[in-house]
Chain A
Amino acid sequence: MNRQPSQPETRPETVGGDNTSTTPVAAHTPRSALGRTGLSRGALNVAFQAGAFLVALVITTLVLLVAGAPPFAAYGEIVRGAVGSLQSLADVTVAWVPLVVCTFGLLVTFAAGLWNIGVEGQIMLGAVFATLVLRLLQDTNAPAWLALTLAISAAMVGGGLWAVLAGVLKAFGGVNEIFGGLGLNYVATALSLWLIFGPWKRPGVGSMSGTEPFPEQLWLPQFSGLRLSPWGLGLAVLAVVIVGVALSRTYFGLKLKAVGRNMRAAFLLGIPTWQYVLAAFLVCGLMAGLAGGIQVTAVYHRLIPSISSGYGFLGLLVAMLVRYRALWAAPVALFYAALNIGSIQLPIVLKLDSSLAGVLQGVLVLCVILAEGARQRLLHRPVSELPAPQEPGRGAPEHATPVEDAL
C-alpha cells in the first residue's frame, strides 16, 4: 500500500485549500425516477447523501474524542490549513491535479468493471520514467521544452506499461486485478527505492529525501511565489476533459461500459473484450503516469520514495464516492485534496497524526455506500442502475473471453 514500513508518510508539505462547503452530496441519480414518486425520490436522495455526510462527521468526531483530541479545534485546523491563505489554496490545487487525473483514469477502468488497485505503482513508474528522461537530457544541449515534453510523454508510457502489465496478468493469466495491481505497487515501490539508494543516489549517500533535484530550467514554470504550475494544471484539465468526453460520447466509452457490465454479452455483440480490458488499463495507466510526470516536473523536481503520495488510493475513494460518475468527480476530488492539505499541520499544532484526513475520507465513502444501500432497500429499486464493477469472485462465463477470473 502507499505506506511502506520503511518509508515515512509524506504528503505535499504545505498548507492551503478550498471549500469544505462543497459537501460531496455529489451523487444524485441522473435518471428520472418513475414519474409517480419522482419528486420525493429526488429529495430523499439528497437527504440520504446529507445523512451519510453527517454520520461520517459524527464517526470521525467520536474517533477524535477517543484519541482525546478537541474535535472542533481539529476541524478548524483542517479548514484553516486548506483555505487559510492564497498559498494554501494554491497547494490544494497542486494536490488536486494528480488526484483528479488519477480519478478520471480510474473512471475508465471502473467503466470496464475493473478494480485497478495498481494506480499507486503506475504513478511511481510514471515518475521513474520522467526522472530517467530528465537525467539523460539534463547534461545535453536539449532545449528545456523538449526535455519536459519528452519527460511527460515518457511518464505516460511508463504508467501505461505498468497498468497493461496488470491487465495482461488478468486477461491472459486469470490473476485478479486487485492482487496483480497490489503486487505491482510493491514492486514499483521497491524499484524507486532501489533507484534512489542505488544507481541514482545523491552524491555521497542516498537518502529518503530522494534524488538530486534537477536544475531549475527543467522545472515546469510556476506561478510566481506559488508552487502551482499553470502547465501542470492545464495538462490535468485537458486530460480530464478528453477522458470525460471519451466516456460519455464515444463508441469507445459505450463499448467499455458494455464490457464492464456484461463481458459475455459484449463479446457476443462482437466487441473484442480483452482488447478493451487492456485498453481500459492502458488509458488509466497513461493518466496515472501523467500524474507521476507532473509530480516530478512540476512539484518535487526529483524522484522521491513516496512520489505517489497515496493519490492512487485516494482516487479510488473519490471514484467510489461519486459512484463512478464523471460529473462530480472533479469537485469531490477538490474537497479530498483540501482535506489532505488541511491535515498537514495537525501533527505540529495539535500533536495529532495527519492520517485523520484518511479516516474522514474513508469513513465518508463507507457511509455513502451504506446510505445508498439503505436508499435502494427503502425504495425497492433494482440494483442494476449502477455500473457496479464485477465482483472478483463472480463465477466467470464458461467461455468466450480470456478474462475469466477466480478469486
Chain B
Amino acid sequence: MTGEAILAGLSGVLAASGPLVFAAIGETISERAGVINLSANGVIVLSAMGSFAVGVATGSLLLGFLTGLLIGALVALVVAFGNITLRQSQVALGFVLALVCRDLAYFLGNPFMGASGPRLSSLPIPGLSRIPVVGQLFFAHNLLTYLSFLLVPVAWYFIFRTRQGLVLRAVGERPAAAFARGANVNRLRYLYTVLGGALVGLAGPMFSLSMKAGWKGTISGLDGIGWIALAITIFGAWSPLKVALGAYLFGLLQWLGVVLQPHLSGIPSQVLQVAPFPLMILTLLLVNIGNAEWVERILAGLPPRIRPAAAGLLRATRVSPPGALGVPFERD
C-alpha cells in the first residue's frame, strides 16, 4: 500500500467518523444532564431519510440538514417529556422510539427510494489544504466534517470550562444539590436533552446528503451506528475528547477491516461486517470490569506489594457515569 493511499484512507476515516462524533457527543451532552436517550439509532435512520426527502423535494442542502436537526430535537423532546414530566422509564421510551423511528423511516421513505438528491460537496480550505499530509488529512473535507472537528473542542470547553457546563455536570451528578443552589433542574434537563438530540439528528444527513448520498430503503452502515454511538459515549467516559477518540478509533478499525479483507480470505465477509459490534462489547467490558465485585475480591486477596499497582490499573481503565444518570429528579 502506498503512502498516498494510506493518507487518503486516513482522511476518509476522519470524514467517515463524523456521524459517530456528532451522535456520541450529542448523547454525551444529554447524559451529562442525567438523561439517557436510547432513541439514537432510530433517530439517525429517520433523520437520514427525512433530510434526504426534504433535500429531494426542495433541492436545498441547508433545509435538508435542518430537517435532520429538527427530527433529532423533536424525538428527544418526546423522551424528555415522557421522562422528566411524566416520570416514565428512559429506557422504555428511548427503546420504543428507536424502533418506531426506524419503521417510520422505512415506511415514509418508500417513495424516495432511488431518487437523486443534492450532495454536499467537498470544500478544501484554500492554502491550508496544500500543506503536505496535514492538508489532505484535515483541510480537504466538506463543511459538516469541519464542523465535526470543531464540535469536539467546543463541546469539551463548554462542559469543563464554562459556568453553564459546570451547572450541566452538576445537574447530572446530583440534581438535588444543583436545585438547592438555584438551578432549574428539569428545565436544564429538557434543554440539554433536546440539544443533544439535535446533534444526534445531524448524523443522519451526514449519510444521506453527504457520505453515501441517497436513500435505497436504507444506507449501508447506517442502521446500527446509533447503538455504537451510545457505547462510545460510555467508552469515552462522558468526556468529548475521549468520546471523539473512541469514534475515530472505531472508524480506523473499520477501515483496517476493509483494507485487510483481501488479505484475510479465511474470514467470511459477514464476520467483518459485524465486527464493530463484538468490538463494542469488548470496549464496554474493558471500561466496566473494574467495577465488578469479584474483581474487588480478587484484588483484596493479592499480596500487598502488587495490590496498589493492580488497583491503580483498574481504576485507570474503568469509568463511572454521572451520579444521577437515569435517575429522575423530584423536589420532595
Contact = CB atoms under 8 A, between A and B. Distances in A.
A396 B291 contact: yes
Contact of A388 (B89, B227, B273, B327): B89
Contacts of B325: 391, 393-395, 407
A313 B99 contact: yes
Given A362-B96, A377-B86, A402-B293, A394 B326 contact: yes
A64 to B, nearest CB: 9
Contacts, number: 209
A194 B281 contact: no
B106 A369 contact: no
Contacts of A66: 108
Given A174-B292, A179-B227, A67 B110 contact: yes
B contacts with A: majority SS: helix
A197 B294 CA distance: 41
A363 interface: yes
Contact of A5 (B38, B223, B277, B278): B223
A327 interface: no
A176 interface: yes
A154 interface: no
Interface in B89-115: 89-93, 95-97, 99-100, 102-104, 106-111
B86 A366 contact: no
A272 interface: no
Given A197-B270, A355-B103, A369 B91 contact: no
B5 to A, nearest CB: 26
Nearest to B86: A373
A67 B102 CA distance: 15
A63 B107 contact: yes
B168 interface: no
A182 interface: yes
A269 interface: no
A402 B288 CA distance: 11
B268 interface: yes
Interface in A356-406: 356, 358-359, 362-363, 365-366, 369-370, 372-374, 376-377, 383, 388-389, 391-396, 399-402, 404-406
Interface in B101-146: 102-104, 106-111
Interface core residue of A66, A172, A373, A374 (most chain B CB under 10 Å): A373
A194 B95 CA distance: 29
Interface of A: 1, 3-6, 9, 63, 66-68, 115, 117, 169, 172-176, 178-180, 182-184, 186-187, 189-191, 193-194, 197-198, 313, 316-317, 320, 351-353, 355-356, 358-359, 362-363, 365-366, 369-370, 372-374, 376-377, 383, 388-389, 391-396, 399-402, 404-407
Given A187-B274, A392-B36, 9 more contacts: A1-B99, A178-B91, A183-B281, A186-B277, A189-B274, A190-B273, A316-B95, A399-B293, A407-B36
